[in-house]
A and B are shown apart, each in its own frame.
Chain A
Amino acid sequence: MIKAENLTKQFERTVLSEENPAKKKKKSKKETFYAVDHVSFEVKDGEIVGLLGPNGAGKTTLLRMLGSLMGPTEGQVTITDKEGNVITDPVEQKRNIGYLSGNTKLYHRLSVREMLSTLAEIYGIEKAETEKRIREISEVLDMDAFLDNRIERLSTGQTQRASIARTLIHQPEIYIFDEPTLGLDILSADAIVSFMKTRKEAGKTVLYSTHYLEEAQFLCDRILMIEKGRIVCEGSPAEIMERTKTENLREAFHVIMKHEDRKEEAEANKSGEESEE
């Protein structure tokens, strides 16, 4: 089980403001903003949770913090393993997480076997055990034909399977996937989707972000909708559709995002009126 408590990430960004309209000189200034704004939730064992939101909503930052790739400004991530041990150390947490995103590319100059062996060595897995696991993974993902080929020579589908193999070698309890089916052909995307289902069936925890709402509706036990770093809606696909009185998750998503826009507009008008007074 993975749990986010009050998880927050602040970044600095440079914004241009009109300084002197007479001279038309622009001045840049730095301001801080919340990429993730005090988010709390948990994902239980054997559960698939989907993270939905528009671009820039904070999905990747949130997943990076959960995967310990990035430290939070505030709050913490805790992992509870099968034995009930609570893990808070980021390095130890990574032993329990299989993280996959569009940015986690493979070492092109190594073969799939070399890559998996190196990773196993880093995870501290014995040589004999490593060989056994590579055999098993290769069989499950049908990689025998290209196991000793350099990754730079693999097709997109084969590379995707090698990426999945990377997340499997240390047999983690938690899988975090950031838009794993983005840009893939139907067969490769289906392979990922069925892989996530097998993980759930094996009692593992799966948290993933996606823009494909139909896929999320069909796959996820629970949905977290995120906008401007905050969770704006949480529940099972059926619950969300019921709450928004819509027939599918796509329509529900539009309703929720429109509602958020209106809320923000109203807040802006209110603060404008207050400052005029």
Chain B
Amino acid sequence: MRTATVKALYKRELLDIFRDKKTVVMMVALPILLYPALIIAMVLIINAVTASQAEKEYTVYMDLDQEADTAIRGFAALDEKDEDALDYKLQFLSMDQVTEKLAENDTENEQAKDGEEEADPLKRALTDKVLNAYVTGNKENGYEIHYLSAKTDSNIAKNALKQAFDLYEEDLREETVKAAGLEVKAILEPIDVSLQDISSKEESVGSQIGSLLPFFIITSVLMGALYPSIDVTAGEKERGTLETLLTLPITNLEMLLSKFFAVATISCISAFLNIFSMGGAMLFLVSGAIASAEDLNVSLDYKVFLPGIGFTLIVMLFFAMLVTAVCMCTCIFAKSFKEANNYATPVMLVFMFGGYATLLPNLELTAKSAVLPIVNVALMIKSLFGFSADYGLFAMVLASNMAYSLLAILVLSRLYNSEAVLFSEGFTSVRLFAKRSEMKKGQMPGGGDVVIVMTSTILLMLYLGTFAVAKLGFYGVAVQQAMILLVPVLYAWYIKADAKKLFSLRMPHPLSWIGALLMVVGAFVLAMFLGAILAPLFPESAQNVNDLSEFLSTAGKIPTVLVIALMPAAGEELLFRGFFMGTLREKAKPVTVIALTAIFFAAYHMSLLRFFTVGVIGLSFTVAAYKSRSIFLSMLMHFCNNLTAVITSWYPDKTEKLLDLDPKVLESPLTLFALLSAALGAVVVGYLLVRPAEEKQAAEPVA
């Protein structure tokens, strides 16, 4: 590679990009003018709305006992400076006033017709906005605040009334205590609890910045990279200059690197401009707030953020490379700007989704999350501003981003060597991008479709699935499994795939059922044996398996069987032995298809120990499904395997003797040999019993 050539091409690319109006608008106009203007306008509008809400009087009606009526009116009449004053102003209407206003409304709108009038005038007053809320009841039967939760004003009136009732209740409580001759404070406030936030203002501010900033950075880098990426790939094809470039004495790598560095430069500049302009806008707003609230003692030591800002810029630089490579990899397949925009949309969604990682509960930067693309950048920036950065993990984040970038560049260099891609023969391995009306019924997905389905399923599982489990616990697992099932099925439906062929939906031969059961029993024993050997090597993974057992014990038996045994048997099989294997078997040799399916299935379980044990069991599922051409066999095997795990978690003591491999067993060669031989024998006999499902022959046309 000649650096002088790359430099010359890089200069040409930059000059070309900078003269593109679309890029300049996206890079300069948006970040410098529009974003700050939008932020400032939004804050000003919110302030104005809040101020007008504070000034406004909310109309209410009360039908209460005299004592409560007086008390509530009393609290509403308090001066703003009184500590018991309500947050919002209330205007009390009498029944006559309500009726009068309703009548006025009816006359104006001429809508009141016989039989259509609301039986309760107060309810009608609420819907007609004559009243924002009303209260009924008495001390004996209790009070009711009536309001419309869908209306902002009604909610505010409700809150003000609730606040007044809380104060009234407090007064009543104090009076009762006093009347009993007791000391109010000793009874109602026997102890004092106060909150002492020992984190500094800088730490609090940093934590808030750290939650929001990653999303802005990721979006900015992405927006900065996207348009130039389209311009230098699909745009170049559309303008017909790519062929001109190919006439020059340059290697594909030189061409690719010059484009890559040019886009990465633009992406970084754009991200810097975005961040500084948004930061400036924020600073303007904060300084305005400080100036208007003189009594507030707001002073921040901005210097403490400098290391965080510096390291964030470094992370951003590495991340920009990854984003650039991914964007270019995607856009190179397009023949035009418009087509590239379509391809870029899912990429944008994935990246922006990753930007939200900082808002997910319990997701911290660890050795594992440090290698998760996009998420690691978001979490790193969060920890930098939260003053909790681990610089070992920082290095891991940089290294993983660099590794992913290199991988993406490698893919890109392969694509730039592909004449089919360069001479615009299109992205035939992805059926999704064609118009649905032009899709052929009964087509099979391409390699690109497999990548999209697998990536989107895993990303959905990582983000939405993790969120669902955190929120819903056990039932979150059901949500995860539903996603795994729906993604391949919906995708296949959308591209009008031949579902029977793709998912191997064929009824197996009766003997195959027996064969499959023998195979899963044998594979299960082999996997347990392997697990017993490997468990000491991966203690963390073994602990995770135990944690899972505890997690399962929290749900009922039928839901557990449904969610842990049945749903994965359907969903995971449709994804792996269905979509993944069904697509691959059209394109690769049996050994490759079976090995890849088993490896991906094992890797999907995201545990080092389970990679091997699940790998063995998954291999048996794959072989059975491949040989029989029926997914129902692997579904049965998967169900049996998971059901065994579920039963084990219910009766650990009883099953321990039956299933758990005692280390002593491993020490006795004879027992060990017998056990392994039996397991292997079961697998082999099972394999021999499995036979291909019969294809129903179409009736021969009558001549």
Chain A interface (Cβ within 8 Å of chain B)?
A: 14, 20-23, 25-26, 28, 67, 69-71, 91-92, 94-95, 97, 99, 101, 103-110, 114, 118-119, 121-124, 166
Known: A28-B440, A94-B248. A114 touches B15 (CB 8 A): yes
A21 and B247 form a contact (CB under 8 A): no
Residue B667 interfacial (CB < 8 Å): no
A105 and B244 form a contact (CB under 8 A): yes
B249 and A109 form a contact (CB under 8 A): no
A109 and B19 form a contact (CB under 8 A): yes
Residue B500 interfacial (CB < 8 Å): no
> Which residues of A have CB within 8 Å of B243?
69, 101, 103-105
B8 to chain A, nearest CB (A): 4
- CB-CB nearest in chain B for A120: B8
B244 and A122 form a contact (CB under 8 A): no
> Which residues of B have CB within 8 Å of A122?
5, 8-9, 248-250
> Which residues of B have CB within 8 Å of A166?
244
Residue B246 interfacial (CB < 8 Å): yes
CA gap between A109 and B240 in the complex, in Å: 13
- CB-CB nearest in chain B for A100: B247
Which of A22, A97, A105 lies in contact with B699, CB distance below 8 A?
Answer: A22
Interface residues of B in 1-30 (CB under 8 A from A): 4-5, 8-9, 11-12, 15-16, 19-20
CA gap between A106 and B243 in the complex, in Å: 10
A99 and B249 form a contact (CB under 8 A): no
B247 and A105 form a contact (CB under 8 A): no
Interface residues of B in 228-271 (CB under 8 A from A): 239-241, 243-244, 246-251
- CB-CB nearest in chain B for A22: B701
CA gap between A123 and B419 in the complex, in Å: 23
Most buried by A among B239, B243, B244, B246: B244
A91 and B250 form a contact (CB under 8 A): yes
CA gap between A122 and B246 in the complex, in Å: 12
Known: A71-B419, A94-B249. A105 touches B241 (CB 8 A): yes
Which of B4, B11, B251, B443 lies in contact with A124, CB distance below 8 A?
Answer: B4
> Which residues of B have CB within 8 Å of A21?
701
B247 and A97 form a contact (CB under 8 A): yes
B485 to chain A, nearest CB (A): 28
Residue B373 interfacial (CB < 8 Å): no
> Which residues of A have CB within 8 Å of B476?
none
CA gap between A122 and B2 in the complex, in Å: 10
B240 and A104 form a contact (CB under 8 A): yes
> Which residues of B have CB within 8 Å of A20?
698
> Which residues of A have CB within 8 Å of B590?
none
Which of B241, B247, B251, B428 lies in contact with A67, CB distance below 8 A?
Answer: B247
Known: A21-B701, A25-B442, A114-B15. A105 touches B9 (CB 8 A): no
> Which residues of B have CB within 8 Å of A92?
249
> Which residues of B have CB within 8 Å of A23?
698
Which of B239, B248, B698, B701 lies in contact with A108, CB distance below 8 A?
Answer: B239
> Which residues of A have CB within 8 Å of B5?
122, 124
A188 to chain B, nearest CB (A): 17
CA gap between A71 and B440 in the complex, in Å: 32
B237 to chain A, nearest CB (A): 10
25 contacts between A and B (CB under 8 A): A14-B428, A21-B701, A22-B698, A23-B698, A25-B441, A25-B442, A28-B440, A28-B443, A70-B419, A92-B249, A94-B248, A103-B243, A104-B244, A104-B247, A105-B239, A107-B241, A109-B15, A109-B16, A109-B20, A110-B15, A118-B11, A121-B8, A123-B248, A123-B249, A124-B4
Given contacts A97-B247, A118-B11, 8 further A-B contacts (CB under 8 A): A22-B701, A26-B440, A107-B241, A109-B16, A110-B15, A110-B16, A119-B248, A124-B4
Most buried by A among B8, B11, B20, B443: B8
> Which residues of B have CB within 8 Å of A107?
12, 16, 241, 244
> Which residues of A have CB within 8 Å of B20?
109
> Which residues of A have CB within 8 Å of B248?
94, 119, 122-123
A170 to chain B, nearest CB (A): 8
CA gap between A28 and B442 in the complex, in Å: 10
A205 to chain B, nearest CB (A): 16
A127 to chain B, nearest CB (A): 12
> Which residues of B have CB within 8 Å of A119?
248
CA gap between A92 and B244 in the complex, in Å: 16
CA gap between A110 and B12 in the complex, in Å: 9
> Which residues of B have CB within 8 Å of A103?
240, 243
> Which residues of B have CB within 8 Å of A108?
239
- CB-CB nearest in chain A for B441: A25
- CB-CB nearest in chain A for B248: A122
CA gap between A107 and B15 in the complex, in Å: 10
Mark interface residues in B332-351 (1 if CB within 8 Å of A CB, else 0).
00000000000000000000
Known: A109-B20, A122-B8. A95 touches B249 (CB 8 A): yes
> Which residues of B have CB within 8 Å of A70?
419, 423
Most buried by A among B239, B441, B443: B239
Report, nearest first, the 8 A-B pairs whose CB atoms are least far apart.
A105-B240, A109-B19, A121-B8, A94-B249, A99-B247, A104-B244, A103-B243, A22-B701
Known: A21-B701, A22-B699. A106 touches B247 (CB 8 A): no
CA gap between A99 and B16 in the complex, in Å: 22
CA gap between A173 and B699 in the complex, in Å: 66
> Which residues of B have CB within 8 Å of A14?
428
> Which residues of B have CB within 8 Å of A110?
12, 15-16, 19
> Which residues of B have CB within 8 Å of A104?
240-241, 243-244, 247
B136 to chain A, nearest CB (A): 70
Most buried by A among B239, B249, B251, B428: B249
CA gap between A134 and B5 in the complex, in Å: 20
A94 and B16 form a contact (CB under 8 A): no
- CB-CB nearest in chain A for B16: A109
CA gap between A107 and B18 in the complex, in Å: 13
- CB-CB nearest in chain A for B19: A109
CA gap between A52 and B440 in the complex, in Å: 37
- CB-CB nearest in chain A for B702: A22
A156 to chain B, nearest CB (A): 14
Most buried by B among A67, A92, A107: A107
Interface residues of B in 441-465 (CB under 8 A from A): 441-443
- CB-CB nearest in chain B for A176: B247
B613 to chain A, nearest CB (A): 40
CA gap between A195 and B240 in the complex, in Å: 23
CA gap between A94 and B246 in the complex, in Å: 9
CA gap between A170 and B507 in the complex, in Å: 68
- CB-CB nearest in chain B for A14: B428
> Which residues of A have CB within 8 Å of B11?
118, 121
A112 to chain B, nearest CB (A): 14
CA gap between A94 and B5 in the complex, in Å: 14
A106 and B249 form a contact (CB under 8 A): no
A190 to chain B, nearest CB (A): 24
B585 to chain A, nearest CB (A): 16
- CB-CB nearest in chain B for A26: B440
CA gap between A119 and B249 in the complex, in Å: 10
- CB-CB nearest in chain B for A108: B239
A69 and B246 form a contact (CB under 8 A): yes
B655 to chain A, nearest CB (A): 51
> Which residues of B have CB within 8 Å of A94?
247-249
CA gap between A107 and B699 in the complex, in Å: 60
> Which residues of A have CB within 8 Å of B701?
21-22
> Which residues of A have CB within 8 Å of B241?
104-107
Which of A71, A105, A118 lies in contact with B8, CB distance below 8 A?
Answer: A118
CA gap between A98 and B701 in the complex, in Å: 60
CA gap between A166 and B247 in the complex, in Å: 11
Known: A70-B419, A105-B239. A91 touches B440 (CB 8 A): no
Mark interface residues in B404-434 (1 if CB within 8 Å of A CB, else 0).
0000000000000001000100001000000
- CB-CB nearest in chain B for A97: B247
CA gap between A217 and B246 in the complex, in Å: 31
> Which residues of A have CB within 8 Å of B4?
121, 124
